[in-house]
Amino acid sequence: MTAVKFCGMMRPEDIEACNRLRPEYAGFVFWDMSRRCISRDEAGVLITGLDKSVIPVGVFRDQPLPDITAAAETGIRMVQLHGSEDQEFIDKVKERTGLPVIKAFTVKDANGINSALGIRSDRIMFDSGAGSGVRSDWSLLRDVKEPYFLAGGLDAGNVEEAIKELHPYAVDVSSGIETGGRKDPAKMERFMEAVRRADLAYRKEEI
């Protein structure tokens, strides 16, 4: 079954929707250049209300290690690094926080894909940018066999196609479940339904 990550949780209403729909992951952005950035205090409150079955992920981009270790105290259970962090930095994050790491990479060309696959992290993510809402170049990912998170321009209208074509481990969505810059519970529900339809169709194909 394809895992789902709803990213950019900012309000109690977002948490309520997560608790009802039960994605596998919920993302909390700590990068202060993002419009979805929240403080550690805000994140701590939201994470406290999140169902334990949903893994809270802290999202960072080229931030100092102390910022990440401090944010780990909010209750996040996974770290997502969305910048130019290298292997040494990834290893330090894992050592200092004791948390698994998702390393995100921008999909540009085949060489970039191969370099990403050489990084040692718990999970990798292929994206078109940092919350850009632009679709990734799926053609570059067709031959990737390692499990990965797919992000970039996904919504309820195209996620079924993405799953059927690429079979990623997980799909990550933020702007695709928003209306007017806020998470839209109806769009979150439609996205989840689309993912499950794709999973059901794929299982039928395998039988």
d(CA 66, CA 120): 21
Which listed residue (109, 127, 155, 172) is catalytic? 127
Is the pLDDT reported for residue 206 higher than 80? no
Which H, E and C letters describe the chain, residue by residue? CCEEEEECCCCHHHHHHHHHHCCCEEEEECCCCCCCECCHHHHHHHHHCCCCCCEEEEEECCCCHHHHHHHHHHCCCEEEECCCCCHHHHHHHHHHHCCCEEEEEECCCHHHHHHHHCCCCCEEEEECCCCCCCCCCHHHHCCCCCCEEECCCCCCCCHHHHHHHHCCCEEEECHHHEECCEECHHHHHHHHHHHHHHHHHHHHHHC
Q: What is the pLDDT of residues 160-170, one digit of tens each?
A: 999 999 999 99
Q: Is the pLDDT of residue 157 over 70?
A: yes
Q: What is the pLDDT of residues 55-102, one digit of tens each?
A: 999 999 999 999 999 999 999 999 999 999 999 999 999 999 999 999
| Residue 7 is among the residues annotated as catalytic for this protein | yes
Any idea which residue has 């990734």 for tokens? 136
Per-residue model confidence (pLDDT) at position 1: 92
Q: Is the pLDDT of residue 207 over 50?
A: no
Residues 31-61 pLDDT 10s: 999 999 999 999 999 999 999 999 999 999 9
| Contact (CB, 8 A) for 138 and 144 | no
Q: What is the mean pLDDT of residues 100-106?
A: 95
Whole-number average pLDDT of the chain: 93
132 vs 26, higher pLDDT: 26
Encoding tokens for residue 30?
């700590």
Domain boundaries, the chain: 3-206
Whether residue 203 is predicted with pLDDT greater than 90 in this model: the reply is no
Query: Which pLDDT belongs to residue 137?
Result: 79
Q: Is the pLDDT of residue 21 over 90?
A: yes
Q: Which of 7, 14, 18, 172 is catalytic?
A: 7
CATH superfamily, region 3-206: Aldolase class I (3.20.20.70)
* 18 carries an active-site annotation: no
